[in-house]
Structure 1
Amino acid sequence: MELSKNIAIALSYIIIIISLVPLIRHDYWIFRVCEYPRLQKLFINVVLLLFLVFFFGIETTPDKVISFLLFLNTGYLIYQVFPFTSFGPKQLHRTKKNEPKKQIGLFIGNVFQYNRNAAEYLKCIKSKDPDVVMLVETDQWWASQLETLKEKYPHQLLAPSENTYGMLLYSKFELQEEKVKFLVQDDIPSVHMKIKLPSGDLISFHGLHPTPPVPQENPRSTERDKEILLIGKEAKKTKGPVIVAGDLNDVAWSYTTELFSKISGLLDPRKGRGFFNTFHAKYHFLRFPLDHVFCSNDFTLVHIERMPNCGSDHFPMFIKLQYSPEEAVRQEEPEADQEDKETASKKINKAT
C-alpha cells in the first residue's frame, strides 16, 4: 500500500513538471514536445488527484501539498484547453447568409508517404467534393496514383518529393501567382498562390509542412517556428482574404501557434468547437491537433469536419469557408504586442 502511494506521488510530481516544462521557451525538442499532450496531461492529473484523495486520503502535510499542487495543475490545464472546447467562445462566426460563389471547400491531409491506400484517399476526397485539395508527405508514387484528380481539378501546383515533405495541391478554381518556395530549408517546400473564387474574389493561400521537433528528424523547433512565423508576417501584410493551412507539426495551443495567430492576425475555426485531433490516427490516447486551417477575419465558417482515417497516421480535415467581408468588423483579430513582435523577430532571425 505504501509503495503504491509513493509511486502515485512520484507520478504526480512528474506530471506537474511536464505541465510546466513548456513555460521554458527553449527550442530544444524535449521542451516543445511537452506542449503536445495537454488533454492527456489533464486526464492523468485528474486520475492521480482522485486516486490520492479517495484511495489514500489526505493525512500528512506532504499529502496535502501534493494534492493541492495537483488541484492547481488541474485548473491550469483546464484553463489551457478551455478555448478549444464547445464551452469556449467561437473565434470564427458561423455563416448566416449562404453565398455559394464566395465559398471554398478545402481538404487537407498528411497521407503518410509509405501508406499505399491511395484508393481510400480518393474515395474520401470524392465524398466531400472539395474545391481545393492539398496533400503532404506525397512522393512520386502518390503523384501518379492521384493523376485522376486532374480531370476534376484542372489547376495544380505539384511538388512531390521522396523525403516525406512533398506537397500536391489540386484546385477547381483558377490559381494565380502560384509558387513553390523553400523558406527555411532547401528540401522543405511550401506552396503559395492566389485562388480565384467563382465570385471573382482572390484569396491568398499558403500551404506548409515544416519539420517537427523530434530527435530522429530535428532536435530543435527553430526551423519549424521560423517557417510558421515567416508565413504569419506575410499573412499580416497581405491585403484581402488569407488562408494558411497544412500539417504544422505543432499543436493548436502551443506557444508558437499562439504567437503565429497574433503575428498574422488570423483566426482559428476550431476555437469554441473542438480539438479536431488529427494525429495519431492509430492510437486513440496519443492524439493531438497537428493539421491546421487559419483564416482572416473576413471569412465565416460553413462547415468543419475531421475525416475518417485513410491508412495514414493522420486524419484528413475538411473545412468550408465563405468570404464574408462584412463580418470583419464583428470578428476580433488577434493582435501582437511589442513583446510578441520582438519574440517573433528573434525567432525568425535565429540561425538555423
Structure 2
Amino acid sequence: MEALRITVCVLTVIMTLLTLLPLSRNQHWWVRVWDFPRLQMASLCLLFLLTELYILPFGGVLSTITIVLTVACMLYQSWWILPYTRLHPVQVKKVAPNGHSRIKIINSNVLTTNRQAGKLLSLIQQNKPDIVVLLETDQWWEDQMAPLEPDYPHSLRCPLDNLYGMHVYSRLPLHDAQIQYLVADDIPSMHFRAELASGEQVVLHCLHPMPPSPTEADESTDRDGELIAVGHTAAKATYPTIVTGDLNDVAWSRTTRLFM
C-alpha cells in the first residue's frame, strides 16, 4: 500500500508540472502539446482524486498537499474545456433554414498516402455539398477527383507532396479567389468569396497550418501566427465568414481563443 501511495503522489506532482508547463508561453512543441489533452488530464485528475481519498491517510500534510494539487489541476483543466461542453451556453445560435441562403461544405483531410479515393467520391456524391475542401492532396488525389469537375466547375488547386496540398471544388461561383502562403513558402491557404443562390456572398478561409510536433514544426509560432492573422481578417470582414480546414489546434487553446 505504501508503494501505491508514493506512486500516486509522484503522479500528482507530474500532473501538476504538466498543467503548469503551458503557462510558460514557450512555443516549443513539447510545451504546446499539453494544450491538447486537457479533457484526458482532467479525467485523470478525477481518477487520482478518488484514489487518493481512498488510500491516503486522512489529515496528513503530504496527503493534504497531494489532494489540493489534484483538485487544483482538475479545476484548472476543466475551466479550459467547460465552454465546449453542454454545461455552457452555445456561442453560435441556430437559425431557421433558408434554402437560398444556406451553404453546405465537406471538409476532408484525405491523408496523402490514403488511396481510397472512391469512398470520398461516393461520400461527396451522396451528400452533394456546395463546396468541397480537401487537404493533404497531391497530384494523384487531384487526378482521382477529376469526376467532380462537371458538377463543381469552380476550383482552386495546389497539389503538393509535403502533406500540405489543398484543393477546393465548388458548385458556387468564387470571387477574388487566392492561394496564399501566409507563414511558409510551402504551406498554402485558400481564400475566396462564394456566391450563394440568393446572391449573398460568404468569405471562406481554408487553412492547414503545420502543427507543433517532433516530426513537423519544432515550435507553434507559425501555426499561431496564421490562425491569429486570419482571425483578425475575419473580424474586419464585411461578409459572413467561415474558417475551415485542419487547424491543427484544439478549441480550448489560448491561440484559438485569440483567434475567436
* Cα distance between partner residues in 2 of 1:246 and 1:13: 37
Shift of 1:192: 0.7
* Cα distance between partner residues in 1 of 2:251 and 2:97: 28
State how 1:274-289 maps to structure 2 within 5 Å: none
Q: Aligned-pair RMSD on alpha carbons?
A: 1.3
Shift of 1:20: 2.0
Which residue is 2:148 aligned to? Answer: 149
Flag structure 2 segments of 5+ consecutive residues without an equivalent: none
Shift of 1:222: 1.0
Flag structure 1 segments of 5+ consecutive residues without an equivalent: 262-352
Which residue is 1:111 aligned to? Answer: 110
Shift of 1:126: 2.9
Aligned residues: 260
Which residue is 1:240 aligned to? Answer: 239
Q: Hey, which of these two has a bigger chunk of helix by percent? A: 2
Which residue is 1:130 aligned to? Answer: 129
State how 1:207-218 maps to structure 2 within 5 Å: 207-218=206-217
Shift of 1:59: 4.6
TM norm structure 1? 0.71
* Cα distance between partner residues in 2 of 1:253 and 1:128: 30
- Contact 2:5-2:55 at 8 Å conserved across structures: no
Q: What letter is aligned with 2:45?
A: N
- Contact 2:12-2:70 at 8 Å conserved across structures: yes
User: Which of structures 1 and 2 has the larger relative contact order (alpha carbons within 8 angstroms, sep 6+)?
Assistant: 1
Which residue is 1:63 aligned to? Answer: 63
- Contact 2:49-2:67 at 8 Å conserved across structures: yes
* Cα distance between partner residues in 2 of 1:129 and 1:87: 34
Report the CA distance shift for 1:126/1:86 in structure 2 as closer, same or farther (over 3 A). farther
TM norm structure 2? 0.96
SS of the residue aligned with 1:87?
coil
SS of the residue aligned with 1:104?
coil
SS of the residue aligned with 1:114?
coil
* Cα distance between partner residues in 2 of 1:78 and 1:183: 33
Which residue is 2:86 aligned to? Answer: 86
Q: What letter is aligned with 1:110?
A: N
Which residue is 2:31 aligned to? Answer: 31
- Per mean C-alpha deviation after superposition, the further-off stretch among 29-38 and 146-155 is 146-155
Q: What letter is aligned with 1:71?
A: V
SS of the residue aligned with 2:245?
strand
- Per mean C-alpha deviation after superposition, the further-off stretch among 125-134 and 8-17 is 125-134
Q: Which has the larger radius of gyration?
A: 2
Deviation string for 1:27-56 (max 9, x for gaps)? 111121110001110111111111111234
Which residue is 2:20 aligned to? Answer: 20
